[in-house]
A and B are shown apart, each in its own frame.
Chain A
């Protein structure tokens, strides 16, 4: 017998897509989103992003039992990038770094690593920062063309809140609407010329990235569509009842983190349901909670809590929306 034969069981063909490839493609799709953030907020956006990403990667490397192997799958990179996108540009770098550590440590590793977590890790990090540093995370700089100087409290020393470099801050469109009934111009929100987190600004680029990911079948279209429908329809009814009191549907969609959440956060495969029916339930749930919080709640923005709440409901949704098996 001369030939060397190799034995295993079928199938012997495999689809080209692999988990690292999916993850790195998401990373790739985020580059233009970061481009917009850097364009509007300059150096401070770069610094905040690097700090958050470093926090994630270092924690992943440190807590991974296979030291560093897990970094290759790209998922920690995504978490870091997404966390950065929901932080304000003037945020202290050490907090950003800490947020990254919490996102990976408490958001992912503690559950058993990739694929095992219930909540979106980036949002776990963001929720931690929101409750630990409520002031810093709601201080928004205006995109004002300062590229090379750090903003706000970027350079605060670890464990200190820091004093702002300057005081040119603004409110986000949602806060302006909620507390002052002052709607921001839709065009400004579309191109991103407003105050907000790094990824909450340029709606246009987010929409394009979303279309790309849907076309590549990395994002399931049902989630963003369900979220947007569940936000737009109730808002439209309210708006038609009283256009003075309630924001317009277009405003609701373009303002705040809704697009970022609908395209990048809620669509995290790990923390969203498996079946088409489940995806609709999940997306509609998020949309309704967003409207409830934004319109009647005490906070101006509710995307983060809406997604985290529906993340918690995902195992239940999976159970309730099982496919009917062929022939049963």
Chain B
């Protein structure tokens, strides 16, 4: 049992079992107030910035668009709308570079340098007087996706299946990835938006308990949320959690707070829990109250390879190079650029890709922090077994992966692995464990697809 004294919280901190304690590096940017990124010349908006079907472009080359104007429609239920981040002119509708390294359909918009960049006025429904269906549609057409990183369409998550009820509305403010501080700043600076968004959502889901889970290293956010909730006479439980990776994984937060496990292959809603990132909920309020669809997001720009670490409110579609330049540029020649945190982030081969809805952080690391370690044989120390938050045996699965024994890996439940990378982090022999599980999982999925196609 750990008390929050160290963090200035005089209460017990909940947590899950296992997990790891990487160095946090949050001090680089956790004190930096959110600053607005100035408008740049060109914006690139891939049509697929969310999980699910890519949006359908509704603008043509040469067309003038306003800031906040709809430029692409949702193509199906699991799909969201896309809006222009600036007043400007569409210069192309075609293939653009995406942060995942591939080319994909997208829209490029050239900024009108003389525009005051005021938001286009569009009628916004009053959330207190619409039906659930209208609410979900509004969320979808506001382009809101989960801002934690996976970019899952928010309205899909908010759709509670008929046979299920939402008992717990849980907001995820853990931000357990080292370096990242965007959610921290959102909780501190958009406290009212966040609680207001929660109230809007609660109006539709009618949960018994409203819980905000925050890692104890953000004690100021815990206090701010509690105080503001009290001022707003809004009954939310702000629960501080132990500082441990991957506390922010949905399943781990549910274990820590509710003491229940999400059954394998099921969703949190099967336990009656709806878990969503704090930034997403702030965006919800900003849409319904301020009429701003999801055209910008808070991005942490940090790491030792950037001159000035910062939390920047970046219009979606801004080239990463511009964001890095805005933060003073790179300090070192050889760098690693990651989208997201160091544990689960994806490395980039170029800065010439846009910030998308799922970009929670741009992490710029030098060779000093990221060393290629020598690999040794597994010495069966069991540290990976003690780290795995879902109680897999990474050592054994790693051995199977080395011999390409995918079926055996599946029997060891590799498909339950959510790739938190705790195993690779602790492995003293630096064996690429999670890396090989990613491969194993895709091989198994491919095989299943082949078999289903027969």
Contacts and interface: CB of A to CB of B under 8 A. Distances in A.
B373 A326 contact: no
B393 interface: yes
Interface of B: 20, 22-23, 178, 251, 255, 261-266, 330, 333-338, 342-352, 365, 367, 369-374, 376-383, 385-386, 389-393, 395-396, 413, 416, 421, 424-426, 428-430, 432, 434-435, 438
A19 B365 contact: no
16 contacts: A3-B334, A3-B335, A6-B347, A7-B348, A11-B343, A11-B344, A12-B336, A12-B369, A13-B343, A14-B424, A17-B426, A18-B373, A75-B379, A269-B382, A274-B382, A326-B261
Interface residues of A, number: 44
A322 interface: yes
B390 A326 contact: yes
A270 interface: yes
A8 interface: yes
Given A269-B380, A274-B380, A325-B392, 9 more contacts: A12-B365, A13-B343, A17-B383, A20-B376, A115-B376, A273-B382, A318-B396, A324-B391, A326-B391
Contacts of A19: 376, 379, 428-429
Overall SS of chain A's interface: loop
A7 B391 contact: no
Contacts of A7: 336, 347-349
Given A3-B330, A326-B261, A327-B266, A10 B380 contact: no
A7 B435 CA distance: 13
A5 interface: yes
Contacts of B371: 14
Contacts of B343: 10-13
Contact of A18 (B263, B389, B430): B430
A69 to B, nearest CB: 9
Contacts of B428: 15, 17-19, 21-22
Contacts of B264: 325-328
Interface in A160-214: none
A116 B377 contact: yes
Given A13-B343, A19-B428, A327-B263, A269 B381 contact: yes
A11 B335 contact: no
Contacts of B378: 115
A67 interface: no
B382 A11 contact: no
